[in-house]
Structure 1
Amino acid sequence: MCGLTGGLWRDARRVDPEVAAASLEAIAHRGPDARGHHFEPGLFLGHRRLSIIDLDSRSTQPMHAGPLSIAFNGEIYNYRELRNTLQRRGWAFRTESDTEVLLAAFTFDGIDCLPYLEGMFAFAVWDRKARRFTLARDRYGEKPLLYFDDGSQFLFASEVRAIEALAGRELEIDRSNLALFFRFSYLPAPYGPFKGMKQLRPGHWLQFDPARWSMQEGSFYSVNAGEKQETFLGSFDEAKVELRQRLTTSVRHRLAASDVPVATFLSGGLDSSIIAALSVQEVGSRIACYSVAFPNDPAFDESPYAKSLAARYPQIDHRILDVTENRLADFTDRTLSLLGEPFADASLIPTAFLCSQVDEKVILGGDGADELFAGYGTYASMRMSARIPSWVRAGLQALPQHGNPAAIRNPLLRAAAFFCSHLKSNAVEEYLSWRTYGSPEQVEGLGFLQADAIRVPEDIADARLATLRDILMTDIKFNLPADMLKKVDLASMQHGLEVRLPFLDSELVAFALSLPERFLISGGARKHVLREAFRDELPVDILRRGKSGFLLPIRQWMKTGRMRDELSDIASMQTLLDAQTIKGWIHRHESGRQDFSQILWACYVFLKWMSSRQRRFQKPNSQAAAIA
């Protein structure tokens, strides 16, 4: 795992080494072990290395072969198999790294090598003979890659701040895209926070031609590609056996592709518990497993479940970290100050805190399982909604809505209130309702144009949501990379930690999406086949518990906590967002009549991000002008 940065300048000027160094320093946390750079007239390619495979300095990047130079972030899990194939094709390897395997594959096949790479990756290849840069990003968006083009410079990097350093100036915020952040709590690809900046979509490549100053983008993978989706025809028991085999193989590959020790996360939920149990069985010796506890917020504390699994496997070296609001306050400021773009999934904070305490360089996690095996309540609710007769739907929509379903103590009544609050006239509107945290009216109330507040990203606007598989594929394409995977990358790479996700093996994804709906949701139980496939490995209390997100107690903290007080103060000292609207939400949230915690947290994150930018550029009024 590493970080990359680079660019082309139209005037073919000599790139200032200090500017290049500043760009590399902006991503130093991603690769603290080594740095490298390559210069040509009007060109820079840089890399920060987190040494995991082939620790020798010979594998430092950028790596060169003939006319090609590569900077690569990620891991290729099938690199040993590919290496054997490439040797038979005549490549003489100089290192043991997966980087050279990727470079050799690209030398032989160009972008046609992308479909047979199994891994997480973002990379840039400069071909000095063809005079062309190629960028590529993995299938599901585990690794980030952004680019910026203002007509005079084409820049790219793993993180926004590295691009800002190369640009040499403060970039202008794209207010239209910012409205998407307040709706979703994140910026989905391809949208970027600044004008001229975009995120490369997952499963895509981009080639930039400096002679014509033009780019071409294409896709090497799409979860809902035009070909007909296969359907698993075996029995439920056969599906369990195949699932066990595929996931075990995926865990084995992610453990094996490392020359340093590997640990696992252990939240106490089903997914991370399965990964931890399989890792113990594969390693056959002591393995560190990391958990978080909320001693002052028992409703959010999953550590008893994590302890239950650890007690079952004596090989687990269980490390539990206690989290309180006061302990997280300063850490929250530091985490938010490092963000190159606003990101308001509150689970970023405890995830980053946990990552900061991990001693190993590599850790396995359980992300991706919910999207593959229908773990979120959204899926069951949307499928139930699709079966409701139109006249019943109309009647339910006509009923008065509860202002704060989260405050209802009875779980059945709470679920019913949430269900009714998300009922809409069509599946796309319903999906948007479940996946957004700020309504168009709220976003407009903050001061954004109505057209921006109601804008729908094309991945959702064009989505077909007739079946459970359709909904899962939309989440894999849209919400998974923009929220879950971005959170994992931000939280881990701030602390030089590589997170590997066995559930996102491409063959396992294809298998999961081939399963019939009844294997995924049965009798109200979600992730049915996953739960049953690993029943023998897990304690009963983990098997029986429901879904619980890795969250901060934001609802409570925005009622009485120091973050609420700080938000009220900083909202009063700025003009970027409507301060009276924010204060009104704080008051109504405090009363308990309505739940504004998510939109208030988004405001808090955004204003913290803006304050950090103002300090870095030392122009107190510049951002107000840029966003006006």
Structure 2
Amino acid sequence: MCGLIGIASRTRVENRDWLTKGRDAMSHRGPDDAGEWWSKDFRVGLGHRRLAIIDLSEKGHQPMVDDGKRITVVFNGEIYNYSELRSNLIAKNFVFQSHSDTEVLLNAYAAWGENCLSHIEGMFSFAIYDDKEKKIFLARDRAGEKPMYYRLNEGVLEFSSELKGLLENPDNPRQVDFTALDCYLTMGYVPGEHCILNGYKKLPPSHAMTFRLSDGLVKTWEYWSIPEMSSRTERAACNKDELLDELESLLEESVSRQMCADVPVGVLLSGGLDSSLVTAMAVRHSDKIQTFSVGFPGYGDLDETAHARLIADHFGTTHLELTAEATTADLIPRLACQFDEPMADSSMIPTWLVTNLVRQHCTVALGGDGGDELFGGYPQYSRLLWMEKRSSMFPTSIRQLLSRSAGAILPTGFRGKNYIQAFEVDLKRDLSTHIDGLFDNSTRRKLMSGYTSYTTVADEIYRQRTPPTSDLLQRATRMDFRNYLAEDILVKVDRASMLNSLEVRAPFLDRKLVEFAFAKVPSNLKAIESDKKILLKLLADRILPPQFHKQRKQGFSIPLARWLKSGPFRDLFWETLTGSNCVFDRSTIIKLFKGLDRGFNNGERLFALTQFELWRQHYNMKL
């Protein structure tokens, strides 16, 4: 796990000092080593910070150049099938100087060019400069575990693992993009290629890009996509037991491959179903597994340490628990600076806390991310199925009246408002931003009432990104895989863990497992109105202790609403959002606080606004 940065230009780059500064702004991503490389004509520059995981020697140094001086690579992530690829490349007469997966990637490009993407398995973002072709080749992994930001302007391409690297260039603008901001205030994250800053973009997951130095031509393409569900006949041929056998085999294989490292490896054990299954598979391949969890004394409904301890005791792991208190409010400004785009997910706090603990004992940790999206684990999936069945009982005009009345009458944060507003959506072919939305159109306009050029466009962007699949559960899980998982969950884990120089891996996001879940597992083995994660629970019956409570849905969470009643969290949020520098409408902010005090569900909403303001003020972003 590392950090990379680079620039490619049609002409000689004169301002080169910022590249070093941008690289070192990400020193948390790679405290073990730093490198920088420039082409002879100074049109291409690459920088790298290294967190040594595979081949800890200096032979793994980056940027890495091949023997022929034609190909130079900077790489962030892990290639899990690097040993297999290395053997294949040796058979093709490639010679290796190291045992690093970076050199495997370098030679894979030399052997197969851009088609190397079809050979590599793992989490990654990388940049390869091909001196013969005079082009830069960028790519991101299939699920989007590793980030890549870029800015293309007047024949110059700049790119970086984190946005803060590009901001070290004093010539780069700092203007908030209103389209991205509207998406953030609606969804809690900025989706797809959009970026919170005007003039910048993200390379989406499973996409690649080339930039040609001769004429500045840019080509972007999707090299992998979620497979379609197999036909009804093919699904019928796979019975429940066969699917369960295949799931167990694929998960065990993925965990085994992802435990490969030249440093200690642990497991983030929340006590939930996904991380417990990962732990069960990990102990099949090592008798020295360390597990870690975080607890909140005094908040019994959120304290999962007893459940994590059950799994740890059953499988005989070395288990450590972190105790978290409400005094962690001082983390909020630090995390706001670390997250390149604000994100409305307060679980970044316990994620940082537990990764900070783990880093004292391990350099690599396995997590359970991806299980909910692949196997139907979120509560809203069952609610959507319930709504789909009953919405057809009411005429469209009645559903629209109920939805719009709720939007006009019920205050923000009133429990159930989002679902009533979503009632008008035709769930036979669409989804609704309201289900998990932060602010509806009316509230967003009020929050941004001081900016006449602000328009509400996020709902249409959401609709455009909604998969056309007719099956509601398939549509919802695919939507979450490409949006919520990629832009919230994986961003949270990457930024929080990398701030602690810890590499977190996600066995559920192995390509074979993803393709299995979407192409083979029917919806009724994922979620129904009365149950969810059905196939994973069947696997739990096989391999987890009988006392394990399968119906719980809990990850690393915090009692945010209670912390915001009074004390350091309340003070920080209030001072940030009611201060004279805040861009949001003060009267709307005060209503949100009053609603919170009345028991409305406004904690995450206030967290989202506070995150944005702390980030904006720290980096001096303009609206």
TM-score normalised by structure 1 residue count: 0.91
Query: Match of 2:425, SS?
Result: coil
The equivalent residue for 1:618 is: none
Question: Is 1:239 matched up with 2:243?
Answer: yes
| Alignment of structure 1 residues 464-613 onto 2, 5 Å | 464-513=469-518, 514-521=520-527, 524-571=530-577, 572-592=579-599, 594-613=600-619
Instruction: Check the 8 A contact 1:444/1:453 in 2, yes or no.
Output: no
Instruction: Check the 8 A contact 1:223/1:476 in 2, yes or no.
Output: no
Give the partner amino acid of 2:62: Q
Residues 163-184 of structure 1: CA deviation (Å, up to 9, x unaligned): 1113544522212211111111
Distance in 2 between residues matched to 1:429 and 1:519, nearest whole Å: 22
Residues 113-158 of structure 1: CA deviation (Å, up to 9, x unaligned): 1022110010000111211101000001011011011225310000
The equivalent residue for 2:54 is: 53
Instruction: Check the 8 A contact 2:30/2:49 in 1, yes or no.
Output: yes
| Cα 1:462–1:271 shift into 2, 3 Å | closer
The equivalent residue for 1:365 is: 367
Distance in 1 between residues matched to 2:459 and 2:412, nearest whole Å: 24
Distance in 2 between residues matched to 1:12 and 1:506, nearest whole Å: 40
The structural deviation recorded for 1:6 is 0.5
The structural deviation recorded for 1:560 is 3.0
The equivalent residue for 2:383 is: 381
Distance in 2 between residues matched to 1:450 and 1:418, nearest whole Å: 21
The structural deviation recorded for 1:470 is 2.6
Distance in 2 between residues matched to 1:389 and 1:351, nearest whole Å: 38
The equivalent residue for 1:423 is: 423
The structural deviation recorded for 1:548 is 2.1
The equivalent residue for 2:339 is: 339
Instruction: Check the 8 A contact 1:15/1:42 in 2, yes or no.
Output: no
Distance in 2 between residues matched to 1:183 and 1:154, nearest whole Å: 30
Computed over aligned residues only, the root mean square deviation of the Cα atoms, in angstroms, reads 2.4
The equivalent residue for 1:159 is: 162
Query: Match of 2:47, SS?
Result: strand
The structural deviation recorded for 1:202 is 0.6
Q: Hey, which of these two has a bigger chunk of helix by percent?
A: 1
Select the residue among 94, 97, 101 that pairs with 1:98.
Answer: 101
Distance in 1 between residues matched to 2:411 and 2:563, nearest whole Å: 16
The structural deviation recorded for 1:384 is 2.5
The structural deviation recorded for 1:567 is 2.2
The equivalent residue for 1:194 is: 197
Worse-matched range after superposition: 518-527 or 299-308: 518-527
The equivalent residue for 1:182 is: 185
Residues 564-603 of structure 1: CA deviation (Å, up to 9, x unaligned): 33222222221422122111211122122x3222221111
The structural deviation recorded for 1:465 is 4.8
The equivalent residue for 2:19 is: 20
Distance in 2 between residues matched to 1:296 and 1:170, nearest whole Å: 46
Distance in 1 between residues matched to 2:192 and 2:135, nearest whole Å: 23
Instruction: Check the 8 A contact 2:412/2:595 in 1, yes or no.
Output: no
Query: Match of 2:282, SS?
Result: helix
Question: Is 1:259 matched up with 2:259?
Answer: no
Select the residue among 460, 467, 482 that pairs with 2:465.
Answer: 460
Distance in 2 between residues matched to 1:11 and 1:145, nearest whole Å: 23
The structural deviation recorded for 1:279 is 0.8
Instruction: Check the 8 A contact 1:397/1:420 in 2, yes or no.
Output: no
| Cα 1:421–1:562 shift into 2, 3 Å | farther
Query: How many residue pairs were aligned?
Result: 604
Distance in 1 between residues matched to 2:425 and 2:189, nearest whole Å: 25
The equivalent residue for 1:450 is: 455
Distance in 2 between residues matched to 1:167 and 1:131, nearest whole Å: 27
Worse-matched range after superposition: 429-438 or 391-400: 391-400
Instruction: Check the 8 A contact 1:337/1:608 in 2, yes or no.
Output: yes
Instruction: Check the 8 A contact 2:347/2:557 in 1, yes or no.
Output: yes
The structural deviation recorded for 1:393 is 7.0
Query: Match of 1:388, SS?
Result: helix
The structural deviation recorded for 1:8 is 2.1
The equivalent residue for 2:65 is: 64
Distance in 2 between residues matched to 1:31 and 1:77, nearest whole Å: 19
Instruction: Check the 8 A contact 1:6/1:44 in 2, yes or no.
Output: yes
Distance in 1 between residues matched to 2:418 and 2:582, nearest whole Å: 34
Distance in 1 between residues matched to 2:433 and 2:204, nearest whole Å: 20
Give the partner amino acid of 1:30: R
Question: Is 1:87 matched up with 2:90?
Answer: yes
Distance in 1 between residues matched to 2:172 and 2:517, nearest whole Å: 46
The equivalent residue for 1:617 is: none
| Alignment of structure 1 residues 422-441 onto 2, 5 Å | 422-427=422-427, 430-441=431-442
Select the residue among 113, 122, 141 that pairs with 1:119.
Answer: 122
Instruction: Check the 8 A contact 2:376/2:533 in 1, yes or no.
Output: yes
The structural deviation recorded for 1:556 is 2.2
| Cα 1:377–1:421 shift into 2, 3 Å | farther
The structural deviation recorded for 1:383 is 2.2
Worse-matched range after superposition: 452-461 or 334-343: 452-461
Query: Match of 1:298, SS?
Result: coil
Worse-matched range after superposition: 110-119 or 359-368: 110-119
Query: Match of 1:13, SS?
Result: coil
| Cα 1:459–1:224 shift into 2, 3 Å | farther
Distance in 1 between residues matched to 2:590 and 2:201, nearest whole Å: 33
Instruction: Check the 8 A contact 1:446/1:578 in 2, yes or no.
Output: yes
Worse-matched range after superposition: 209-218 or 485-494: 209-218
The structural deviation recorded for 1:225 is 6.4
The structural deviation recorded for 1:520 is 1.8
The structural deviation recorded for 1:551 is 2.2
Instruction: Check the 8 A contact 2:180/2:194 in 1, yes or no.
Output: yes
TM-score normalised by structure 2 residue count: 0.91
Residues 470-526 of structure 1: CA deviation (Å, up to 9, x unaligned): 322222122210111111111111111111111011111111121122222357221
Give the partner amino acid of 2:598: S
The structural deviation recorded for 1:235 is 1.6
Give the partner amino acid of 1:254: Q
Query: Match of 2:167, SS?
Result: helix
The structural deviation recorded for 1:301 is 1.1
Query: Match of 2:321, SS?
Result: strand
Give the partner amino acid of 1:548: Q
Distance in 1 between residues matched to 2:458 and 2:464, nearest whole Å: 17
Give the partner amino acid of 2:47: G
Query: Match of 1:90, SS?
Result: coil
The equivalent residue for 1:411 is: none
Query: Match of 2:6, SS?
Result: strand
Which structure 2 segments of 5+ residues have no match? none
Distance in 2 between residues matched to 1:462 and 1:236, nearest whole Å: 26
Residues 207-242 of structure 1: CA deviation (Å, up to 9, x unaligned): 011221231101110115699796363221221111
Distance in 1 between residues matched to 2:15 and 2:470, nearest whole Å: 49
Worse-matched range after superposition: 360-369 or 99-108: 99-108
The equivalent residue for 2:252 is: 248
Instruction: Check the 8 A contact 1:69/1:127 in 2, yes or no.
Output: yes
Query: Match of 1:431, SS?
Result: coil
The structural deviation recorded for 1:71 is 0.3
Question: Is 1:297 matched up with 2:299?
Answer: yes
Question: Is 1:36 matched up with 2:35?
Answer: yes
